[in-house]
Structure 1
Amino acid sequence: KVTLPLSMPGVVAGTLLTFIPAAGDYVNAAILGSPNTKMIGNVIESRYFKIVDYPTAAALSFTLMAVILILVTVYVRKAGTEELV
């Protein structure tokens, strides 16, 4: 009853600290995944370097950044760590 509610800010922080680098990581996904695997980092890298579609790559990058910013903002508001920002 007490342990889980008290540890939730740490669990959410750990999830965010894992999700943020993994969201943009395309090297590990390219090495470990199949050619049919599409992750956002791989799509951005493909659009930028292979297809040379800079506007789409920029839009995807901005969308990824906005999603991460929203998640971090929600965490900061819910966890009560406004003084850290």
Structure 2
Amino acid sequence: PAIHISINEELKKNFIAGYHKDRQLKTPYHEASKAEDSRSAGKRFYKDENELLFFINADFQPRLCVPKNLQQIILTESHESPLETTHMG
């Protein structure tokens, strides 16, 4: 299963700033290459066209990396927003 999201400029800037501050994501963010270069053997992280960081899991599926400072905000918004939600029904 996949979730398709849209992101506004302010949230995108918050993600990028969060990557620079997050102890676990700072190095992968700076070392990650663009999406077109990401499928090389051994590379687990890449940046998309919005400069968002993704992790390639064991099944070779991309997963959006969410900085620590945004995790609670994203979880709350995705579960409680009446217009944009991760739950059906």
Question: What TM-score does the superposition give when structure 1 sets the normalisation length?
Answer: 0.30
Determine which structure has greater relative contact order: mean sequence separation of CA pairs < 8 Å that are 6+ residues apart, divided by chain length: 1
Question: What TM-score does the superposition give when structure 2 sets the normalisation length?
Answer: 0.29
- Structure ranking higher in strand proportion: 2
- Structure ranking higher in helix proportion: 1
